[in-house]
Chain A
Amino acid sequence: AQTVTQSQPEMSVQEAETVTLSCTYDTSESDYYLFWYKQPPSRQMILVIRQEAYKQQNATENRFSVNFQKAAKSFSLKISDSQLGDAAMYFCAYRRANAGGTSYGKLTFGQGTILTVHP
């Protein structure tokens, strides 16, 4: 079974500064997807960024970028120029890519990191 671990229960950053959230995962598969989701107090899960494991290039989405280290099974999220609206709970998630089995569409989530942004 796959597991996802986020070792930072809480992180804080000053507005306009950069912060990195850590995530490690365990899997025996070679093809998979990794994601970072944001969950503000409204509970709405918002996809921030995704990475396909077969791509060596790190994904970027505006101020959000990842550092994907496949051999180390590490997938960190970097938020540049942090904004007050970035404050939320951030979840790292894993999903199988191969079509074997019936539940490969499900997401496996880490425990989450609460990000506080100070003005």
Chain B
Amino acid sequence: GAGVSQSPSNKVTEKGKDVELRCDPISGHTALYWYRQRLGQGLEFLIYFQGNSAPDKSGLPSDRFSAERTGESVSTLTIQRTQQEDSAVYLCASSPRLAGMGPYNEQFFGPGTRLTVL
């Protein structure tokens, strides 16, 4: 079956412009995560969606960052007034359900979007 897909694969933008990054999770996966990976670094959690619950936005670095998800489908991460420090790979992951106690539900990652802000 299809995995997590993200678009675009690469995005080059000018400082101050807004960008939208898209994530299509695996069908039926209720949980969706966004992570940011700066060059040569580990992944940083940004935001988490679970079904129709309020998202956990605790990882968003500033109010220029926002994300939406329609039901249990596509999610969009928006960065307004981009800055050079926003340059990174943005990775999306989905999992079948809320990963609580009991059988672990693996997070399946997409290939990421490489964002370059000039």
Chain A residues packing against B (C-beta within 8 Å): 4, 6, 31, 33, 42-45, 47, 50, 52, 91, 93, 95, 97-99, 102-112
* CB-CB under 8 A for A107 and B40, given A43-B89, A95-B99, A99-B100: no
Is B56 in contact with chain A by the CB < 8 A criterion?
Answer: yes
Pick the 3 closest A-B CB pairs, nearest first.
A109-B42, A45-B109, A106-B45
Q: What B residues does A112 contact at CB under 8 A?
A: 40-42
Q: How far is the CB of A22 from chain B (nearest CB, A)?
A: 14
Residues 42-54 of chain B: 1 if any A CB is under 8 Å from the residue's CB, otherwise 0? 1111001010011
| Interface residues contributed by chain B, number (CB under 8 Å) | 31
Beta-carbon contact of A102 and B104 below 8 Å: no
Beta-carbon contact of B104 and A50 below 8 Å: yes
CB contact list, B72-106 vs A, under 8 A: 89, 91, 93, 95, 98-101, 104, 106
Q: By CB atoms of chain A within 10 A, which of B45, B53, B106 has the most?
A: B45
* CB-CB under 8 A for A105 and B42, given A42-B111, A44-B109, A98-B101: no
Q: What B residues does A42 contact at CB under 8 A?
A: 111
Chain B residue at minimal CB-CB distance from A6 = B42
Partner of A91, one of B43, B48, B95: B43
Q: What B residues does A99 contact at CB under 8 A?
A: 100-101
Beta-carbon contact of A111 and B41 below 8 Å: yes
**Bound-state Cα–Cα, A102 to B107, Å:** 16
12 pairs, A vs B, C-beta closer than 8 Å: A43-B91, A44-B109, A45-B43, A50-B104, A52-B104, A91-B42, A102-B54, A105-B98, A109-B35, A109-B42, A109-B44, A112-B40
Q: By CB atoms of chain B within 10 A, which of A45, A97, A107, A110 has the most?
A: A45
Beta-carbon contact of B42 and A111 below 8 Å: yes
Additional pairs, 14, CB under 8 Å, beyond known A45-B43, A105-B99: A42-B111, A45-B91, A50-B104, A52-B104, A91-B43, A97-B101, A98-B101, A102-B48, A103-B58, A105-B33, A105-B98, A105-B107, A107-B43, A111-B42
Q: What B residues does A44 contact at CB under 8 A?
A: 109, 111
Q: How far is the CB of B35 from chain A (nearest CB, A)?
A: 8
**Bound-state Cα–Cα, A98 to B98, Å:** 11
